[in-house]
Amino acid sequence: MNLIDATNIQTALARAATAQVDWGRTDVRQRAARMHPVQTEIAQAADDLCDLVTLPQRRSKTETLSSELLPLCEALRYLQRHAAKVLKSQKQGIAGRPLWLWGTHSEIQRVPLGRVLILAPWNYPLLLAGVQTAQALVAGNAVLLKPAPGCEAATATLVDCFQAAVGTDLIQQVDSDPAVAERLIRAGVEKIVLTGSSQTGRKVMTAAAETLTPTAMELSGCDAMVVLPGADSNRVADALRFGLSFNSGATCIAPRRIFVPQEQSDHYRKLFGRRLAQQPRLHVHPAVRPRMIQVVEDAIDRGGQWVGGPWDRERFEATGTTPPLLLFGARPDWSIMSADVFAPIAAVCDYSPSDPLVELISRSPYALAASIFGPRKEAQRFAAALEVGTITINDLIVPTADPRLPFGGRRESGFGTTRGRDGLLAMTTPRVITRQTLRHPRHLTVPTAGDEEILAGILQLNFAAGWRRRLRGLGRLVQGIKQSRK
């Protein structure tokens, strides 16, 4: 496999551009059908892929299979079944066409963007990079895939699976050095898809601004988990334990801020304590550790009480591991309540019936996802008031793997959409083709004295309030036609 590094950027871009032209002209059904051998290759390479994902926070192959490979193959199958319909050209018929555009017939086509640079994350290097790559390819683009440092080998095997189906020029792996990605952006790509931190997002957008390259930013989260009165407390406790331990807490939509009813605070403190007791120590990514120490120490200084494994800073600094940690007594303005720390920690804030709970949740700069636990009707009403990208009721994390669902956030959590129908459309741009069938279109003729009355009559007939005003508009239209014929 040829790796794109600082020495061959222009050559790689030229290869991608050449391959993309023919690929983009291929029928969508044929492009989507190529995803079947990709899913076959991934299934056959599953053991190797699990071995190559040597992420310290990944505790077992089970997590890689369930959180990455199965959802990825489902996404590939979704594209095979639905991509042609999603990307089908839309003809605009007579119905709804403005009267003054009589004779025009239009079609909206979805066309590829060109070369898509995908900047993949370290926490889910197969699923997120794989789905984004598949959508870009099926949409007719070429892909330049940059893995996060430490994920090079797994990405190489993933790239091999795609290259076996589409060739070596349509998808190329980029050196994991961020400087290479920056040079690619400056050299010229047609879209950038980043999954990463908001800090990285700002750097990428700064570079993209120089070339006005469109971007999709799937950034960090500090997600709220809302417990309503009447929630199944055992379900809540099981979900929290799962959310803190799955992938060692290194998930952008893991629960970080837990809001519980004030009158049930003691109950949940005891219940969470039992669920988190004797949990194994989990690995925290080196890049996350300084920020984790900062927010944990700040919470301790403010009087927060930890439930679960005890916080041992000395051991954490020596080993990079910690049991799941849950802080009780947090307030909305504490730093832990707005920190995107990809680690097995969360904070609990109690609320009273008089508290503006939606406002408290919205104080965080992140708006990626939220989970709500409680009676269905009450939970749905509360969900309708939250301004986040994804809301899960009586569950968390896992349902978002549905390949039909779009994914994206707001504010510090980014913008744009990946995955699902909307994610596929986002890998294209609309091209509109309009055909004029009139032999003598009115706007190409020399203006007449009646044109003003005709236009004013059409405007009043179509948009004025009340039948009397519309009748007057009809009268002006008829009068204008008579004047134009003199």
- pLDDT tens for each residue of 120-171: 999 999 999 999 999 999 999 999 999 999 999 999 999 999 999 999 999 9
Cα(142)–Cα(133) distance, integer angstroms? 9
Please give the model's pTM, rounded to 2 decimal places: 0.92
Task: Name the most confidently modeled range: 124-138, 283-297, 452-466.
Answer: 124-138
Q: In this predicted structure, what is the pLDDT of residue 279?
A: 86
| Amino acid (one-letter) located at 58 | R
Task: Indicate if the pLDDT at residue 421 is higher than 90.
Answer: yes
Contacts of 483 by beta carbon, 8 Å cutoff, 6+ apart: 448, 449, 450, 453
- Residue 438 buriedness (CB in 10 A; 0-12 / 13-18 / 19+): exposed
| Torsion angle of the four alpha carbons 332, 335, 341, 347, in this order, in degrees rounded to the nearest 10 | -40
Helix (H, G, I), strand (E, B) or coil at 60: coil
* H or E stretch at 306: strand 305-308
Cα(127)–Cα(247) distance, integer angstroms? 13
Count how many residues are written for the chain: 486
**Is the torsion defined by CA of 63, 80, 145, 253 positive or negative?**
negative
Q: Which of 359, 360, 365, 335 lies closest to 347, judged by CA?
A: 335
Token pair, residue 277, equals: 């007791």
Q: What are phi and psi of 135, to 5 degrees?
A: -65, -40
pLDDT digits (tens, 9 = 90+) for 203-214: 999 999 999 999
Q: Which residues of 103-121 are buried (b: 16+ CB within 10 A; e: fewer)?
A: eeeeeeebebbbbbbbbbb
Contacts of 213 by beta carbon, 8 Å cutoff, 6+ apart: 185, 188, 189, 190, 191, 192
21-30, 50-59, 366-375: least confident range? 50-59
Task: Indicate if the pLDDT at residue 486 is higher than 80.
Answer: no
pLDDT digits (tens, 9 = 90+) for 360-374: 999 899 999 999 999
Nearest 5 degrees, angle CA 14-CA 17-CA 22? 135
Report how far apart, in Å, the C-alpha atoms of 251 and of each of 185, 245, 256, 356 are: 27, 10, 10, 28
Task: Indicate if the pLDDT at residue 181 is higher than 90.
Answer: yes
Q: In this predicted structure, what is the pLDDT of residue 450?
A: 86
| Number of alpha carbons in the 13 Å side-chain half-sphere of residue 305 | 9
Percentage with pLDDT > 70 across the chain: 100
| Number of alpha carbons in the 13 Å side-chain half-sphere of residue 64 | 23
Task: Indicate if the pLDDT at residue 1 is higher than 70.
Answer: no
pLDDT band at 451, cuts 50/70/90?
confident
Question: Average pLDDT, stretch 236-245?
Answer: 94
